[in-house]
Amino acid sequence: MTNKKLSRRKMIGCSTVGILGAMSGIAFQANAFSEIPFKESNFKSDLPFRISLNTSTIRAYKLSVDEQIDMVADAGFDGIELWVRDVESYINQGGTAESLAERLRSRNLILENMIGFARWFSEDAESRSSGLDQMRREMEMTAKIGGKYIAAPIQGVKSLDKSIFGEYAQRYHDILNLADQTGVVPILELWGHGALNSLADCAHIVIGTGHPKAAMLLDFYHLYRGGNDWDTLDCINGRRLPVIHINDYPADPPFDQLRDSDRVFPGDGICPFNELIPKLYEAGFRGGFSVELFNKGYWETMDAQTILRESYERTYRVLKEAMSGIKNN
């Protein structure tokens, strides 16, 4: 990706990193998350990362949460990302969070992250307060299932005002305070088509919180869709990233016209994984690569088992090839 937009963002990214380096080192503290086990001893592959699945990838099949867990485990994944609405539906139909926690343990799956959409970032104070309450409930539910993270995309904001990043950081800090009470960390999520589509902006907000558990949720598609430059990806401390969404994207349409449904299996597009995976590894990342797709073409031509098998096998091949020249430690 080379254009004026990207060069500008690259410049901003580098200047942001300079600012961060002069601060307390929150983003670059190697041991800030030392109490949270990114690498588990029960990895199912020989890679230094977990291979996990975001259940968006199989959402079209209308599976219950317990069915999702069983099928993802059967396909060989290390972890899973569940959606709040699916878990709530399961509980409303008589299931319990505790039974899901036991199922995850028995199937040897890590709950990487929960996917929710509380409006904790809204510009409207009343909506934001309601969003905080919703986020608390969802974090408490996540804790009961055994999860340690929940996605925190920004909702209710069409664009960011660069002059009030301190206020944005405070909004994120407010939900990070809930982490101290619930044991679940909200991860600020970058969306390529949304207001928070710049890695530099995301880092600015995260660092501005001054909170030791602040972190980002990145996604290869969303980084590309947002016009970010890959050259500065490793400015981020990978040790602070518990999970990254992995997927691929085609050369056409252009990056700023891509839709969520254009995402394809890792290795089937143009994402430079052989460059990016080693960068992330050298930057300290040892978390989970979680496959996140919304591909309607796959749903129309494959059953859930096939998509799961292809998701795992293609992701494994991409990661294995990318790491072929790296000595794991």
Tens of pLDDT, residue by residue over 33-82, are 433 444 444 567 799 999 999 999 999 999 999 999 999 999 999 999 99
pLDDT value, residue 17? 42
Write down the domain spans for the chain.
4-322
pLDDT value, residue 14? 39
Range in 43-52, 110-119, 204-213 the model is least confident about? 43-52
Fold of 4-322: TIM Barrel (3.20.20)
Q: Per-residue confidence at 326, pLDDT binned at 50, 70, 90?
A: confident
Q: Per-residue confidence at 126, pLDDT binned at 50, 70, 90?
A: very high
Instruction: Tell me if 289 sits within 8 A of 56, measured CB to CB.
Output: no
pLDDT value, residue 310? 99
